[in-house]
Structure 1
């Protein structure tokens, strides 16, 4: 998940350490050969790597922009999930008459609201290809848990149970026809939002596009020492390393942002969002959120940055 933490330099360097080692050895080799063996004094006009670098910069900028669009779309969808989860709970508490204290109607509202919390957590883990059933026993009944275990798509099974309970409430007269339609529309939005997340998750960023840019970047780095050696001499080594590191970091940033559900520091923060939804819904239900055992404790942010 995306974290509001200062990223350690060791984490940043770790992402490009192999590339930096290669560039260092290569640039040192070129400098040694150029200064030791005069017959290998090959240099090219600085304009050649400059033009190639400009083209690669434009391609990387386009790739980064497209990757950020995918990340931002994922964040927008989860923002809608927050709003619709609050809306569903508010509709349940206002449509169903629960003012007389503990009753079947009140139990119905709490059951659907807590199942909505379970849906958020299960969708988060489902998108990250983790166990979507983890922790759900704290929110849903054993009967519901046994039912959804039959499905490969746990969030979809939870939405099916929500729809079934909604129909049951309508038949009992707890909600009227108009209220049933409104609640069903809210459930439909959850289904659409889940589909939007799955579309982002399952749509692979064009591999050929990234591969071609990477090969062009490698070519640029290999030509760069020959363009700088005549002007900088041995100093071209740190210059080449600095330029190459900047390009490789931008490339890595785009690669990480293009997949917002991989449980990385650059992820859409679905776990934290789910915890926010859990807190808000339980407060609307007048449940003591601080005393109740939470489904998932907050992650230790530093764990994301272990190399």
Structure 2
């Protein structure tokens, strides 16, 4: 997630340089074709880039709106996980009878393991989760599962039932804590849905094709009056469209490990710190630091 208001031009160019080269080559080719092949035979009507520009605006607008909706939904899901995680730990620490306090602490630690397992799954790092928050019995119980975070929630449900059976919590507290488990499941499912739902590739593909056609036709039209400078102007106008489109597409996969994604590392670390401090632990990790004071993962 970006932390600064102004984005460095170098970052933009790193994201667009390949497309920029293609556009420059296209503009040069369009200028040479206009200058040496069709200059004395026909004039390219200005209506062509005008219509293409309008179509591109619609496609880019749709793409960016849908991409931001995905990003914002993912951020709301993880914001909910932050709040419910604190409530979950607070309930287990203060509601459970002292006779089962060790089991309650184990369930709080296990929840941290659940969050790291979910984060690792969303980012494709299935072997990079904080197993130290799970007991040896927990690791054995989930070892045969492909969905580790779902298996961890099943263990939480089992132990919550144990607390109720031991009368360490009353029925009202049991229902309250169980509802939190349901919300964790909902947040897990919504995150998986966002990650596994492929954005319609036709929109992205057609947008790229339209931008290329627009750059070529625009260069052909303005070369009639600007000459060789039409190459530069064609690239500049194309750069605006390409940058806007790439900016929107960077939000399509909000759980990717890039500067525009949801800061899962920071969010899970924040929850980890909060829960460990609520447990009175002394060995608490430091918050995740920004990269180059520009963004946080």
Whether 1:207 and 2:201 are equivalent positions in the alignment is: yes
Alignment of 1:276-295 (within 5 A): 276-288=270-282, 291-292=283-284
User: Under a length normalisation based on structure 1, what TM-score does the superposition of the two structures give?
Assistant: 0.88
Q: Per-residue displacement from partner, 1:240-294 (whole Å, max 9, x unpaired)?
A: 1111111111111222211111212111111110011011111211222xx3457
| Whole-angstrom CA distance in 2 between matches of 1:145 and 1:293 | 23
2:135, 2:38 → 1: CA distance? 80
The 10-residue stretch of structure 1 (2-11 or 23-32) with the greater mean CA deviation from structure 2: 2-11
Who is 2:227 aligned against?
233
Secondary structure, counterpart of 2:250 in structure 1 = helix
Partner-residue secondary structure (3-state), 1:257 = coil
The count of aligned residue pairs is 294
CA distance in 1, matches of 2:217, 2:239: 15
Query: What is the rounded CA distance, in whole Å, between the counterparts of 2:243 and 2:227 in structure 1?
Result: 26
Name the structure 1 match of 2:211. 217
CA distance in 2, matches of 1:249, 1:38: 31
Match of 1:109 among 101, 104, 122: 104
Structure 1 distance, partners of 2:161, 2:250, is 43
Q: Contact between 1:122 and 1:155, CA under 8 Å: does it hold in 2?
A: yes
Any idea what SS the aligned residue of 1:44 has? coil
Task: Return the alpha-carbon distance in structure 2 between the equivalents of residues 83 and 300 of structure 1.
Answer: 23
Q: Relative to structure 1, is the Cα distance of residues 40 and 92 closer, same or farther in structure 2, using a 3 angstrom cutoff?
A: farther
Q: Offset of 1:216 from its aligned partner?
A: 1.8
The yes-or-no answer on 1:80 pairing with 2:80 is: yes
Equivalent residue number for residue 301 of structure 1: 291
Residues 30-52 of structure 1: CA deviation (Å, up to 9, x unaligned)? 33454456756754222320221
Cα-to-partner distance string for 1:10-45 (whole Å, 9 max, x where unaligned): 332122212211211222233345445675675422
Q: Secondary structure at the match of 2:228?
A: helix
Inter-CA distance 58–70: structure 2 relative to 1 (3 Å threshold)? same
Deviation at 1:189, TM superposition (A): 0.6
Q: Quick check: 1:182 aligned with 2:172?
A: no
2:151 to 142, 157, 163: 157
Unaligned runs of 5+ in 1: 99-103
Shift of 1:164: 0.8
Partner residue in 2 for 1:135 = 130
After superposition, give the CA deviation of every residue in 1:70-94 in whole Å (9 maximum; x if it has no partner).
Answer: 0000000000000110111111122
Deviation (angstroms), 1:212:
2.0
The 8 Å contact of residues 34 and 42 in structure 1, kept in 2 or not, is answered as no
2:113–2:129 contact (8 Å) kept in structure 1? no
Counterpart contact for 1:68–1:257, Cα < 8 Å: yes
Q: Is contact 2:16–2:242 with CA below 8 Å preserved after alignment?
A: yes
Q: Is the 8 A contact 2:254 2:262 kept in 1?
A: yes
Q: Say if 1:71 and 1:260, in contact at 8 Å, map to a contact too.
A: yes
Residue 267 of structure 1 pairs with residue 257 of structure 2? no
Partners of 1:206 and 1:36 in 2: CA distance = 40
CA–CA distance in structure 2, aligned partners of residues 125 and 303 of structure 1? 24
C-alpha separation in 2, matches of 1:176 and 1:235: 78
Measure how far apart 1:141 and its partner are.
Answer: 1.1
Instruction: Name structure 2 gaps, 5 residues minimum.
Output: none
Alignment-derived partner of residue 96 in structure 1: 96
Change (3 A) 1:9 1:301: same
Q: Please give the alpha-carbon distance, in whole angstroms, between the structure 2 residues aligned to 1:116 and 1:133.
A: 16
* Cα distance change, pair 40–200 in 1 and its aligned pair in 2 (3 A): farther
